[in-house]
Amino acid sequence: MYPPRRKRHPSRGESNTWNPKSLYPYWEIPKNKLLTNRAKELRKAGNLPEVIFWQTFKDKNKLGFDIDRQVIIGNYIVDFFIPELGLVFEIDGSSHDNKIEYDAERDAFMKDLNLEIIRILDIDVKKNMGNVYQLVLDSINKRKNTLKFRS
């Protein structure tokens, strides 16, 4: 097996080890460091659907990739993120009901970074985890195939 490739980190001008499995250049994602404390608070608070989702998928062996929670992307914090694939999972509940314009703006920003956003209803996480599990696996496979053939 080859050693991990070294990649210059463009935003910091330093070398970082690049995961050779990575199909998406996640190290280039802009990050508003002012949101760091807010992201930590959200991780600690965790609403029920997010906790269920996290408990289900935090084991890398289930997905084949690490999944991170409450990740800063630009001026936004996403619920869950698989960096190596540039794949975002958002758990949407009633708090999103009056945020249609905000969510659209946020999604457009993410799509400009070539991120894929998968929105999952919180009720599905609570009552239909079998289907959510399959959706997550299908989304990962689809994203892997999409990125592999893009060049």
User: What tens digit of pLDDT does each residue of 88-133 get?
Assistant: 999 998 765 567 888 889 999 999 999 999 999 999 999 999 999 9
Q: Is there a domain that residue 48 lies in?
A: yes
> Which residues 6+ apart lie within 8 Å of 119 measured at CB?
90, 92
Average pLDDT value for the chain: 85
| Residue 21 binned pLDDT confidence (cut-offs 50, 70, 90) | low
Q: How many domains does the chain have?
A: 1
What confidence tens digit (pLDDT) does each residue in 122-147 have? 999 999 999 999 999 999 999 999 98
Q: Is there a domain that residue 44 lies in?
A: yes
Distance CA 79, CA 71 (A): 7
Q: Can you read off the two tokens belonging to residue 29?
A: 């994602």
Note the pLDDT of residue 108: 95
Q: Mean of the pLDDT values across residues 19-34? A: 86
Note the pLDDT of residue 13: 42
Q: Is there a domain that residue 93 lies in?
A: yes
CATH code assigned at 48:
3.40.960.10
Q: pTM (2 decimals)?
A: 0.82
- Structural domain for 123, as ranges: 24-148
Burial of 78 (0-12, 13-18, 19+ CB in 10 A): buried
What confidence tens digit (pLDDT) does each residue in 43-72 have? 998 789 999 999 999 999 989 999 999 999
Distance CA 37, CA 61 (A): 29
Inter-residue contact 70 to 77 (CB < 8 Å): yes
The residue among 88, 65, 66 whose CA lies nearest residue 77 is 88
| Residue 34 binned pLDDT confidence (cut-offs 50, 70, 90) | very high
